[in-house]
Homo-oligomer: A and B are copies of this chain.
Amino acid sequence: MWNSERNMEAPQSPVKTAAVLVIGDEILSGRTQDTNSGAIARFLMGFGIDLKEIRVVSDDQAEIVAGLNALRTRYDFVFTSGGIGPTHDDITADAVAKAFGVDIGYHSEAYALLEARYPPGDFNDMRKRMARIPHGASLIKNTVSVAPGFHIGNVYVMAGVPMVMRAMLEAIAPEMPRGVTVTSVTISAQIPEGAIAETLAAIQKANPTVSIGSYPFYSEAGPGTQLVARGRDVQIVEGAASAIEAMLREKAVRFERL
């Protein structure tokens, strides 16, 4: 059902889709703010890949397996973040192996990389856990702290530490497909959204290939609205943005492009 609907919306577009699976109790407890999803979202935007869903699940094998299988069968790519370190709560690699129904064991290249990283005697059994990679996976380079991520099927498994995660995104960038990117125009207007909603709906209706979003905000100057026009055809997006600006001018609203 999902695929047919998506195809109906964009019949000629081979737009790739993606999901993010964040693994971590620390996000669900509100202790840590997840910034990795946003970084992955912006990364994907650069390749014209549409991020369609983000899920955050706990450090629980059954949850990770179920989430990963739901997402990897539905989207072109899945990016996971978290749970690939040396401690007992790092269970992502095993969960990914289970989701794919493959074995897991020491990956010789990962093992060698990690062994070389530590002084003799410091490459203990727990650190060796970071060399356990599902069979059939290829490594994702970690230029920050050596311990690699990995790529299996359509799933990219990355670290949770933001600096390391971003380094892994850089490492996989060369293998990402490049599609037509989305052009986005943001207009900040000093008017409550309800006062322009009707005209805005008409502009949306006249531009079905542009996604027009309306995001209210409150500032010292009073209620305002950020209007965002997004689409893959630059000229059509520009046309919709111009229509929004014309509407604001007609209503004598103060606005600026961001």
**Chain A residues within CB distance 8 Å of chain B:** 1-2, 5, 22, 25-35, 37-42, 45, 50-59, 62-63, 66, 85-90, 122, 124-127, 129-130, 145, 160-161, 163, 182, 184, 186, 193-195, 197-198, 200-201, 204-205, 211-218, 223, 228, 230
B184, A31: Cβ atoms closer than 8 Å: yes
Q: Are A216 and B161 in contact (CB under 8 A)?
A: yes
Partner among B37, B126, B194 whose Cβ is within 8 Å of the Cβ of A126: B194
Distance between Cα atoms of A37 and B223 in the complex (Å)? 24
A90 to B194, CA, bound (A): 11
A85/B216 in contact, CB under 8 A: yes
In the complex the two chains form, is A32's CB within 8 Å of B215's CB? yes
Give bound CA distance, A57 to B1, whole Å: 17
Known: A5-B62, A54-B55. A88 touches B197 (CB 8 A): yes
Given contacts A26-B215, A56-B54, whether A86 and B42 have CB atoms under 8 Å apart is: no
Closest chain B CB from A27 CB (angstroms): 7
A30 touches B45 (CB 8 A): yes
Given A87-B197, A88-B204, A126-B201, are A38 and B45 neighbors across the interface (CB < 8 Å)?
Answer: no
Inter-chain CA distance A235–B88, complex, in Å, is 22
CA distance A193 to B86 in the complex (A): 7
Asked whether A62 lies within 8 Å of B218 as measured between CB atoms, the reply is no
- Chain B min CB distance to A207 (Å): 11
Q: In the bound complex, do residue A38 and residue B33 qualify as a contact, i.e. CB atoms below 8 Å apart?
A: yes
The 7 closest A-B pairs by CB, nearest first: A30-B41, A126-B197, A30-B42, A54-B56, A87-B214, A88-B201, A86-B194
Closest chain B residue, CB of each to CB of A56 = B54
In the bound assembly, the distance between CA atoms of A217 and B159 in angstroms comes to: 12
CB distance from A212 to the nearest CB of B (A): 7
Question: Roughly how many angstroms separate A28 CA and B85 CA in the complex, as a whole number?
Answer: 27
